[in-house]
Chain A
Amino acid sequence: MKVEMEMGLKDVPGSLLRSLEPISKHGGNILSVLHHRGEANLVKVKIVFQIKDQKSLELIQKSLREGKIRTSDIFVEGRRYYEKKTLSFILIGHVIDSDIRDTIDQINEIGCVSDVDVVMPDPKEKSSVLMKADVDNGSLDKAVTVIEKLCREKNLVFIHSLEQ
């Protein structure tokens, strides 16, 4: 798996080395390291590496967190990777007629809709739709807020899971 990972490192000696160690430790083969100075005292670094599987990526992330190294965007094989938290929710109302494509697109801007289960008792009746969206762990509250707003605009009932 080819992984592109962006990090924000403190501009102090040794911080780049500390950020690379967890990758090597968990079997990552580093392909390239690009860095540029942005904000004061913070260096943005983009590291591209090859790893065996998702489990290795999770271990790398865990080690980075323990080392207090912040990662932002992660792409796996060119697709955005989420430290996956699945947001399950039900929408009730005229979900199809209120442009379900647009609903999914808007949710995809903050995550990735991975499952859609629709029940339409009658074309004139309200439909009930269960969706699952993979959302970055830190963006769960934001995702709920976005869906709430969307439901207000489209006059849909939003029932979200208790874990959120």
Chain B
Amino acid sequence: MKKIKLVIVGGGVIGKGFIKILLEKNKFLKNMGLDLEVVALCEIDGSIVCEGGVDLKRVLELSDRGELNKHKQWSSIKSMEVLGQVKADIVLELTPGNIEYGEPGYGHIKKALENGMHVVTSNKPPIALHYRELHELALERKLELRYEAAVGGAIPILNLHRKCLQINEVKSIYGILNGTTNYVLSKMVEDGLSLENALNEAKELGIAEKDPSYDIDGVDTALKVVILANSMLDMNVEFGDIRIQGIRDVTPEAMDLAKKHGYVIKLIGDVRRMEVSPRLIPVDHPLNVSDSLNAVMIDSDISGELTLVGYGAGARETNSSIYSDVIEIAEGI
């Protein structure tokens, strides 16, 4: 049995999702020969550190009540300090990212790599804004930096490319990379709702955040476009290079017109064109998916077009990709 020590930075929806799945799939993982042990959990105002393994059931109980600071091993030690002191195999950086500088994730990832730990993250901004630097640092230290969950939620895009499309030269990648906007646009066309009403419904269902600007203004999609451009097309693209047009100006009349002429409107991230914009899609096109689904088309010289469809967000779904990265790294340790 291989023991793999983990540090989780960020105990929000994704972090808790990881813990729940770890408890649920513990036996399954052990059958694979992996004993994943969380030795530290860092939150914004403090951390729980336990060399012998954090009691995860207790963490979930307290966290659900908003009382994580009542955990017997809780201390006000900050995440950066933990990452400088604790020796683990893999750090899971699962905090929400800041689009301005990519913090706090950028600092966390850097610190973890500098301290000799592999990193798995679902955090887009640090990877999109500091791609080259972080990659070079990981390479220099002979460590893995994985971020499948930052691109398509549950959809395996980067790992599929790395493991199954080696012979291919990818010509283009484009698709729906944001579940919130897809939900809103789908509701506008299916139920005839205005953008505002569709967005309110999405907020009530927890699909959209309280401030959904990053989603509907195309910023979230643009971050994913940057990551895909650099990772899969080796384009050396920066966030500022992406032309971004969100869906705020899409009117219900435009949706009706599109429908009348056999189209739907979807927010498309187009990696080759370095563009995020609403586009007309024929109704019978494989990218015409409803609800909060994401859909990506990868066009390569040997495989031709591949369409991947799945949920791009959600604690459980996103963790499918996080585990994929963690398990692969763990197997190689």
A162–B260 touching, CB < 8 Å = no
Asked if B253 and A159 sit within 8 Å, CB to CB, the answer is no
Q: Which of A30-72 contact B (CB under 8 A)?
A: none
Assess the B253–A128 pair: CB atoms within 8 A: yes
Alpha-carbon distance between A93 and B257 when the two chains are bound, in angstroms: 14
Min distance, Cβ A147 to any Cβ of chain B, angstroms:
13
CB distance from B272 to the nearest CB of A (A): 12
Other-chain contact of A92, B254, B256, B261, B279 (Cβ < 8 Å): B254
Instruction: Determine whether the beta carbon of B280 is less than 8 Å from that of A88.
Output: yes
- Where chain B touches its partner, the secondary structure class is mixed
Nearest Cβ in chain A — how far from B49, in angstroms? 50
Q: Which residues of A are found within 8 Å of B254, using beta-carbon distances?
A: 90, 92, 119, 128, 130, 159
A90 to B278, CA, bound (A): 10
Contact with A along B215-255 (1 / 0, CB 8 A): 00000000000000000000000000000010001110110
Other-chain residue from B245, B250, B256, B280 in contact with A161 (beta carbon distance below 8 A) = B280
Please determine whether B250 and A162 come into contact, CB atoms closer than 8 angstroms. no
Interface size class of A (residues with CB under 8 A): 20 to 34
Interface residue? B265 (CB, 8 A): yes
Chain A residue numbers with a CB within 8 Å of B256 are: 119
Do A159 and B250 touch across chains, with their CB atoms under 8 A apart?
Answer: yes
B117 nearest CB across to chain A (Å)? 42
The reply to whether B281 and A162 contact each other, CB–CB distance below 8 Å, is yes
Instruction: Decide if B263 is an interface residue (CB 8 Å cutoff).
Output: yes
Which of B174, B280, B282, B285 lies in contact with A90, CB distance below 8 A?
B280
Asked if B278 and A159 sit within 8 Å, CB to CB, the answer is yes
**With A126-B251, A128-B251, A157-B245 in contact, is A162–B268 under 8 Å at CB?**
yes
Q: Does A89 count as interface, using CB distance less than 8 angstroms?
A: yes
Task: Identify which of A88, A127, A161, A162 gathers the most chain B CB atoms within 10 Å of its CB.
Answer: A162
Residues of the A chain whose Cβ atoms lie less than 8 Å from the Cβ of B249: 92-93, 126, 157
| Distance between Cα atoms of A117 and B260 in the complex (Å) | 10
Q: With the chains together, A92 CA to B250 CA distance in Å?
A: 8
Residue-by-residue, is A107-132 near B (CB-CB < 8 Å gives 1, otherwise 0)? 00000000001010100001111101
Q: CB of A10 within 8 A of chain B? A: no
The answer to whether B287 and A162 have CB atoms under 8 Å apart is yes
Q: A89-B280, A162-B280 given as contacts; is B287 within 8 A of A128 (CB)? A: no
Q: Are B250 and A130 in contact (CB under 8 A)?
A: no
A140 CB → nearest B CB, Å: 13
Residues of B within 8 A of A132 (CB): 261
Q: Mark B279-299, 1 if CB is under 8 A from A, else 0.
A: 111100101000000000000
**Contact A90–B258 (Cβ < 8 Å):** yes
| Any A CB within 8 A of the CB of B277 | yes
Q: Are B251 and A159 in contact (CB-based, < 8 A)?
A: no
Least distance between B196 CB and chain A CB atoms (Å): 15
Report B94-105 CB contacts with A as 1/0, cut-off 8 Å: 000000000000
Distance of A159 Cα from B263 Cα, bound (Å): 11
Task: Name which of B174, B256, B280, B281 has the most chain A CB atoms within 10 A of its CB.
Answer: B280
Chain A contacts for B279, CB-based, 8 A: 159-162
Besides A90-B265, A159-B278, 4 new A-B residue pairs in contact (Cβ under 8 A), listed by A number: A128-B254, A159-B250, A160-B280, A162-B268
Chain B residues engaging chain A, CB cutoff 8 angstroms: 174, 245, 249-251, 253-254, 256-258, 260-261, 263, 265, 268, 277-282, 285, 287
A interface, CB within 8 angstroms of B: 88-90, 92-93, 117, 119, 121, 126-130, 132, 157, 159-163
Q: List 8 A-B contacts (CB under 8 A).
A: A90-B257, A92-B249, A119-B254, A130-B258, A130-B261, A161-B263, A161-B282, A162-B287
